[in-house]
Amino acid sequence: MMLRYLGSTKNLLGCVGGLLGVVLYLTGVVGWFWPFVVVALYLVGALLAPSEKVRLVPDTSAELRSSLEVLVRRVSAQASRMPTSTVDTVGRIAEVLRDLLSQPARLAADPDLQHSVGRLARTDLPLSLETYLNLPWWFASRRTGAGEELVAQLGLLEAEAHRVAERFYASEVDRQADHTRYLRDRDA
């Protein structure tokens, strides 16, 4: 808590005010009561400084990336128990999520997107895979519906990951379309 205050805007502006008090003393503007002036100017600076921005949504990008990597490794180790192409689908989903998580500041700016990415990486993808892999191998291999359910779930999750990425990159897509219109209009 104390370290955070030392780097805060309030402390920095207070220090500037205190330094101004020292400069006033050194230039002879204030006399023997200069320590009171330094403290008063520090307090004025600290009180007038804007408050720090409140961040209610924590940045969990590094934690999510780490758990996503562990998930992908564990799924790859269980590839022989899974239906064909599901490991590749998990890899594609993880690739999209990794890309989104590689920009934590931008992701934190949109709590709705951050929630969607977190839900995909922390809940939906692991739940689908764990549910299938917790079935006994002999049961899952004989029951074709279990593998089909996993393939369907992963397809839905991949589509959702792409929808989240579309929202994440919407401004870049719009900027690219604007530039295309500009280039076409310029030639006309």
Per residue of the chain (188 residues), what is the pLDDT tens digit?
A: 677 777 888 889 999 999 999 999 999 989 899 999 999 999 998 998 887 766 555 557 788 899 999 999 999 998 888 888 899 999 999 999 999 999 888 888 888 999 999 999 999 999 999 999 898 888 877 776 778 899 999 999 999 999 999 999 988 888 998 999 998 888 77
**Residues 30, 24: contact at Cβ < 8 Å?**
yes
CA dihedral 73, 77, 80, 86 (to 10 degrees): -10
Evaluate whether residue 20 is within a structural domain: yes
90 and 69 in one domain? yes
Our CA angle for 171, 176, 177, nearest 5°, is 100
Domain count for the chain, please give it: 2
Query: Domain range spanning residue 97?
Result: 61-178
**Residues 87, 75: contact at Cβ < 8 Å?**
yes
89 and 30 in one domain? no
CA-to-CA distance for 15 and 9, rounded, in angstroms? 10
